[in-house]
Amino acid sequence: MFRTIALAAIASLALTGCIKHEPYDHHGHGQPGGDNGRTDDKLLLVKQDDWTVRYMGRKNVVYEDGSNAVVELFQMNCSGAYNLFPLIISPDDLKNVYNNDLLDFFEYEVGLLQNDAKADPSVPLSDLGVYSGKEKSVEFGRHMHGTWLLYVPELDSKLNLTGKYAELEFTIEEEKATEAFARWYGTYHVYDGYCGFDITISDADANYLYYVDGWETGPSVSEQMTQERDWLYARYADGRLIFYAQFLTTEEYNKMNVKQVFAGTWLTPTSDTIGDVDWEGVELEDPVAYAFEEDGKVMLRPWTVTFDNGSVMTYHSMRYTRLWYTDNGATVNWAFYNTAGVPSLPANMDFIPGTRANSAPVVRQRTKGSVHRDQLKPAGPSRVRKWTEK
Q: Give the DSSP letter string of 84-134.
A: E--EEE-HHHHHHHHTT-HHHHHHHHHHHHHHHHHH-TTS-GGGGT-EETT
| Same domain as 224, residue 240 | yes
Count: domains in the chain: 2
| Same domain as 334, residue 208 | yes
| Same domain as 169, residue 183 | no
* CA–CA–CA angle 361, 364, 370 (5° rounding): 125
| Same domain as 196, residue 150 | no
Compute the radius of gyration of the chain from its Cα atoms: 21
CA distance 84 to 378: 11
| Same domain as 162, residue 185 | no
| Same domain as 335, residue 242 | yes
Q: Is residue 348 part of a domain?
A: yes
Q: Is residue 99 part of a domain?
A: yes
| Same domain as 334, residue 210 | yes
Task: Specify the pLDDT at position 77.
Answer: 95
| Same domain as 349, residue 218 | yes
Taking a C-beta distance cutoff of 8 angstroms, is the pair 233, 284 a contact? no
| Same domain as 193, residue 156 | no
| Same domain as 207, residue 318 | yes
The per-residue pLDDT string of the chain (390 residues; one tens digit each, 9 = 90 and over) reads 223 222 222 222 222 333 333 433 333 333 333 344 444 578 999 999 999 999 999 888 877 766 677 889 999 999 999 999 999 999 988 998 899 999 999 999 999 889 888 877 888 888 888 999 999 999 888 888 889 999 999 999 999 999 999 999 999 988 899 999 999 999 999 999 888 888 999 988 899 899 898 888 765 555 545 544 567 889 998 899 999 888 777 777 778 778 788 889 888 777 788 765 544 556 667 889 999 998 889 999 999 887 777 778 899 999 988 888 776 666 677 888 777 778 999 999 999 999 988 776 666 566 665 665 555 556 544 433 344 444
Taking a C-beta distance cutoff of 8 angstroms, is the pair 208, 177 a contact? no
Strands 209-213 and 231-237: what pairing?
antiparallel
Identify the domain containing residue 71 by its residue range.
46-173
Q: What is the pTM of this model?
A: 0.73
Q: Is residue 36 part of a domain?
A: no
Q: Give the DSSP letter string of 298-311.
A: EEEEEEEEEETTS-
Bond prior to 346 in cis (omega within 30° of 0): yes
User: Which CATH number characterizes residue 76's domain?
Assistant: 2.60.40
